[in-house]
Amino acid sequence: MKFRDGMWLVAEGMRVEYAEDIHAITPTPSGNGGLSLLCPTKHIRSRGDTLNLSTLTIDIEPEFDGVLSVEVTHWSGSVRRGPHFDLYPHGKPSPANSIAPQAISKSASGTSLSSGSLTATIHPDPHTFDIRFHASDGSKHLTSLLSRSVGLAYSPAPSNPQQLGDMRDFKHYVFTQTQLAVGESVHGLGERFGAFNKVGQSIQLWNADGGTSSDQAYKNVSFWLSSRGYGVFIDHPELVDLEVGSERCCRVQTSVAGQRLKWYIIYGPTPKEVLQKYAVLTGRPARVPAWSFGLWLTTSFTTNYDEATVSGFLEGMKSRGIGVDVFHYDCFWMKAFTWTDFVFDPLKFPDPKASIARLKEARLCNKVCVWINPYIAQHGAAFHEAAAKGYLLRRKNGDVWQWDMWQAGMGLVDFTNPAACAWYTGCLNKLFDVGVDALKTDFGERVPPALPNHTTDTDVVWFDSTVDPAKMHNFYSFLYNKVVYEALEKRYGPGEAVLFARSACAGTQRFPLQWGGDCESTPEAMAESVRGGLSLGLSGFGFWSVDIGGFEGSPPPWIYKRWVAFGLLCSHSRLHGSNSYRVPWAIDDNDESEEGCSKVLAKWTLLKNRLMPYIYSQAMKTTETGVPLSLRAVCLEFPDDPTAWYLDRQFMLGESLMVAPVFEESGEVEFYLPKGTWTSFWDSSSTRVGPGWFKEKHGFGTLPLYVRENTILLLGCEELAKESGAVYDYATDLDVQAYHCVPGQAKATLYNSDGKHVVDFEVGEDGQVEGVHLLKGTTNIVGEHRIEAQP
């Protein structure tokens, strides 16, 4: 939202007032060791200037090392309605003042408040509005709140201040503008499919079912990461408007409707450290089971299928040497007009429990997933019970809130009602009894108010009367996925629960995993998906997938095969489409050649399964730190390389593998390698030295996949991976590959598929890999050599 018309004019219909002075600095009322700034909206030169004007209060408080909260308030008497983000889910660290006992200090530079490594300094002149955020040791300036950077606004503009005695006809906003440095880039804000660097964009954080080719997003996350080594988490689940260098080119403007705006500034100094501290605030991704990293195959969306179709798909995959770890039944496992009633269509699946058991016993798949959502159609068996017992959202007149979008007469499960949560969990337990192991939690975006400009006077009443419907719109995805995830976890145990979720907000990363939504079957959409996955990873989400081949349309064989290569190097990999199947033989008329879809899919699936010892070890780090497994932006590993902050067509799989998807039918691809020696995964004798851009041409069985120097790469046994998919004994017949390792620095950890630690590897002074004696079977050690440590 823009409040000004260029540099000089106020936007039409707006009244804007800015904090001009910092009139008084006192301790914050909370007693948490912070500073409260009283900021009038004009310069106070005499006592008379204190009358008939508004003030803004800015409370700055230390949270924990490297993190300060900043809250701007106009009228403090406004009710703090929920819902609120579930902060510090793993516990709050020790107070920052215990790290820096002299948290508040005064000098010629002004008044300073430190929170460990991060300090805010307030200019000593009360008529100079200037708050600077910098490293406590003085090594780095991060950002500032400067003149006319904090304010309030009314729309429409009142012509008489007495009109504001009745606020029902006015909207009230609070905003801040943090300074953007020369060359600074901004990333994150959820799964966004547009330009990777958000500078120059106007962004609304409002969940919407908008596909992957617009400025709308399924997953709006109120956190952004700066290339200058800090991040900002905006503590508001409601609509947040950002002008990222788009109202003022040198500022990031954040605004909300209401009387308060609160955000946290997080200092790394590295982007990995920023994400780790952000994960302390909002939560780390939970551990997901090893089987979830294998290939998922679905029925696709509106395709016609029954029990015979499912068996035929899986038998066809097995006969072609393609291991399927998870089979997913999409929407039409239920009858039309009944979604979601949790009942298998009796004509298509007369005995689902026996059917699923047969699939598993025949080892056609390891696990089964079904599609659900929180929208309950009135023609399904679940609706009448849910409506009668008050489990569905209601209108103000007492009616169940219904509409005909998606499902005829559908209602919305009210997850603010504990009884509704228990009922929904009971429905899920019946699916688990049938043999369902995972759930695709689709939708959750079309929650009233449906449109961002309709956030006031919404005709709905939630069971929890303390919540604000405008705040429930985005936050609903957190409650929905939390209920489902906890039901899975309770049934199957910690580390065995996994979702396939579409909607999200801050904190939903605790309930993995998420996928990228409805993309088209085009190379442009594949590139959009890469940008979306990168942005979500920089928003604290550790695990991510995409509809391989594209969801909308029917991919030509070359796009399918290029997408297979990309999709099998995401953290999770699923074949899924809309109105056409994604089994490979349906794409290219069963081309059985080495370049056919079936052989290409078999090769990449086997590679993913062989990489599991490496992938699973990296996944364990993700659950400990909040740093994404894949897609991991290159800037997380190489933050000092300016080019890395602009790479949006390639990514890291963990910390050691660089992946560059191919978007051209010809196989031509251009990619960048940062400083260091990089070795082709396909040919250990082929190395490239970065930094630099490179061009290559690849067939469908390869893409630019480079191993970072100083890496010990763990590859599982080919026979075990071929036979068992993603789950096997990773410690048996392991390939240990060392790439240009520095003794004492090159390390790797092996976990088995049950999450138990097996061994830590390290390259010793003699260039040998230590720890291999603890492995079983025949260990193949490749590339034992060393390089000298670089300056």
Q: Dump pLDDT digits (tens) for 545-603.
A: 999 999 999 999 999 999 999 999 999 999 999 999 999 999 999 999 999 999 999 99
Does 364 score more than 80 pLDDT?
Answer: yes
In whole angstroms, give the CA distance from residue 71 to residue 131: 13
Q: Which residues, 6 or more positions from 612, have their beta carbon under 8 angstroms from its beta carbon?
A: 290, 293, 716, 721, 726, 728, 730, 753
Inter-residue long-range contacts of 445-450, CB under 8 Å, 24+ positions, other chains counted: 445/207, 445/208, 445/209, 445/218, 445/477, 445/502, 445/503, 446/208, 446/209, 446/375, 446/405, 446/406, 447/207, 447/412, 447/472, 447/473, 447/476, 448/393, 448/401, 448/412, 448/473, 449/473
The predicted pLDDT at position 789 comes to 39
In whole angstroms, give the CA distance from residue 151 to residue 167: 18
Q: DSSP secondary-structure letter at 207?
A: B
Q: Which residues, 6 or more positions from 68, have their beta carbon under 8 angstroms from its beta carbon?
A: 60, 61, 62, 113, 115, 118, 120, 133, 264, 265
Whole-angstrom CA distances from 507 to 87, 280, 532, 695 are 8, 10, 18, 39
The predicted pLDDT at position 382 comes to 97
The predicted pLDDT at position 788 comes to 41
Does 131 score more than 60 pLDDT?
Answer: yes
Q: What is the pLDDT of residues 517-554, one digit of tens each?
A: 999 999 999 999 999 999 999 999 999 999 999 999 99
Q: Which CATH class is domain 290-372+414-625?
A: alpha beta
Tokens of 44: 């106070």
Q: What is the pLDDT of residues 61-107, one digit of tens each?
A: 999 999 999 999 999 999 999 999 999 999 999 765 455 545 899 99
Q: Where are the alpha helices (DSSP H) in 263-413?
A: 271-282, 307-319, 352-361, 381-388
The predicted pLDDT at position 455 comes to 80
Does 790 score more than 60 pLDDT?
Answer: no
Q: Which residues, 6 or more positions from 147, have their beta carbon under 8 angstroms from its beta carbon?
A: 18, 128, 129, 130
Residue spans of the domains in the chain: they are 290-372+414-625
Residue range 45-70: average pLDDT?
97
Q: What is the pLDDT of residues 673-686, one digit of tens each?
A: 999 999 999 999 99
Residue range 444-456: average pLDDT?
89
Tokens of 160: 């008489």
Least confident of 43-47, 182-186, 737-741, 783-787: 783-787
Number of CB atoms found within 10 A of residue 136's CB: 18
The predicted pLDDT at position 100 comes to 52
Does 786 score more than 50 pLDDT?
Answer: no
Does 111 score more than 50 pLDDT?
Answer: yes
Q: What is the pLDDT of residues 641-674, one digit of tens each?
A: 999 999 999 999 999 999 999 999 999 999 999 9
Does 219 score more than 70 pLDDT?
Answer: yes
Active site residues: 442, 445, 518
Does 457 score more than 90 pLDDT?
Answer: no
